[in-house]
Amino acid sequence: MSRARISPSPEDRARLMALHPQLATNVHGRSIATIALLVGLALLAVYSLWHLGFSVSRLGTGIGQLFYFVTLMLPPNPGTQLHLYMDALGETLAIAFLGTLAGAVLALPFGFLAAKNVIANPVFHLGIRRVLDVLRGVDKLIWALIYVTVVGLGPFAGILAIATSSIGELGKLFSEAVEASDRKPVEGIVSTGGSKPDAVRFGMLPQVLPVLASQVLYYFESNSRQSTIVGIVGAGGLGLHLAEQIRVLEWQKVSFLILMMLIMVAVIDFISSRLRFAIIGRRDVTF
């Protein structure tokens, strides 16, 4: 049986507005604010396109040029340097693994110190948060440029760049996970005479450890891509060879290196996602 929709009569609507005039005012004000916001965003987009020199003709020419470069890249061919590229692939994975591991180990204490439910002092808490902001506010590529200048070319600079940025990123995520933990186990340990470190070690850490481990696995997957990018500025790995082959216009080798990167990322994504699901207790994932 269908239910008929009854709309209010004009008299009822007028009576309602007379009793609650703020309803009409709020709706009218919100409508004007929404329209003004949309108009402002549209004007900002038009100004940005004009200021940055956006051109439809250049876009069409660029797409045609892109297809031309794709034809130059086919078929992917490493030439006589396959063994060199495989070594570079292993170097890229090592940079991502060691950088993520070092960043996670150093981010763990920062994560607890930056959590409000562990350190109640607002000045200390604010200082730790700002340190993490500085570390993650600088892109990995910038850190790589800095470390290449400091320690020289090679994978060591890439490891330091990945680790430094990961400290800030993982430290923030760790602190949020710690702040979201249940207080009852901590209070139970303290009420039975346990110290504050005991409460953190036995009441808080077991709760957040699976979450922290899944976050580290995700960042290893992300850093495996970033380790290729930092290699372009001289920090080792596939990126170093990729930049070199682009400079000498060896497009088939470039496509082969890109294909290696894609396969590497896909394999790491498959393995790390399964490990994350296993850690957090998901049972509905098939290998």
DSSP state of 194: -
DSSP summary character for residue 75:
S
Residue 4 and residue 287: Cα distance in Å, rounded? 52
Q: Is the predicted pLDDT of residue 94 greater than 60, yes or no? A: yes
What residues contact residue 144 under an 8 Å CB cut-off, 6+ apart? Answer: 157, 158, 161, 230, 233, 234, 235
pLDDT band at 286 (very low <50, low <70, confident <90, very high): very low
Nearest to 212 by CA among 254, 178, 182: 178
The radius of gyration computed from the CA coordinates of the chain, to the nearest angstrom, equals 28
pLDDT at 105: 92
Question: Which ranges of 114-179 does DSSP label H, i.e. alpha helix?
Answer: 122-137, 140-151, 155-179
pLDDT tens digits for range 215-266: 888 888 888 888 888 888 888 788 888 888 888 888 888 889 989 888 888 8
Q: Are residues 45 and 127 in the same domain?
A: no
The predicted structure's pLDDT at residue 101: 93
Query: Does 76 or 6 have the greater pLDDT score?
Result: 76
Residue 285, in any domain of the structure: no
Find the helix packing angle between 155-179 and 82-113, rounded to 10°. Answer: 30
* Residue spans of beta strands (DSSP E) within the chain: none
In a domain, 36, yes or no: yes
d(CA 138, CA 140): 7
* Domain presence at residue 118: yes
CATH number of the domain at 201, please. 1.10.3720.10
69 domain-assigned: no
Q: Are residues 179 and 264 in the same domain?
A: yes
Q: Are residues 169 and 36 in the same domain?
A: no
15, two tokens: 């009576």
Q: Which pLDDT tens digit goes with each residue over 151-174? A: 888 889 989 999 999 999 898 888
86 in the same domain as 40: no
Q: How far is CA 14 from CA 17, 32, 139, 164, 259, in A?
A: 5, 22, 58, 64, 68
User: Is residue 266 assigned to a domain?
Assistant: yes
Cα–Cα distance, 287 to 270 (Å, whole number): 9
Task: Clarify whether residues 261 and 186 are in a common domain.
Answer: yes
Q: Say if residue 104 is in the same domain as residue 209.
A: yes
pLDDT on residue 230:
86
Q: Is residue 73 part of a domain?
A: no
Question: Left (φ > 0), alpha (ψ -120 to 50) or beta: where does 249 sit?
Answer: left
**Structural domain boundaries, residue 273:** 81-280
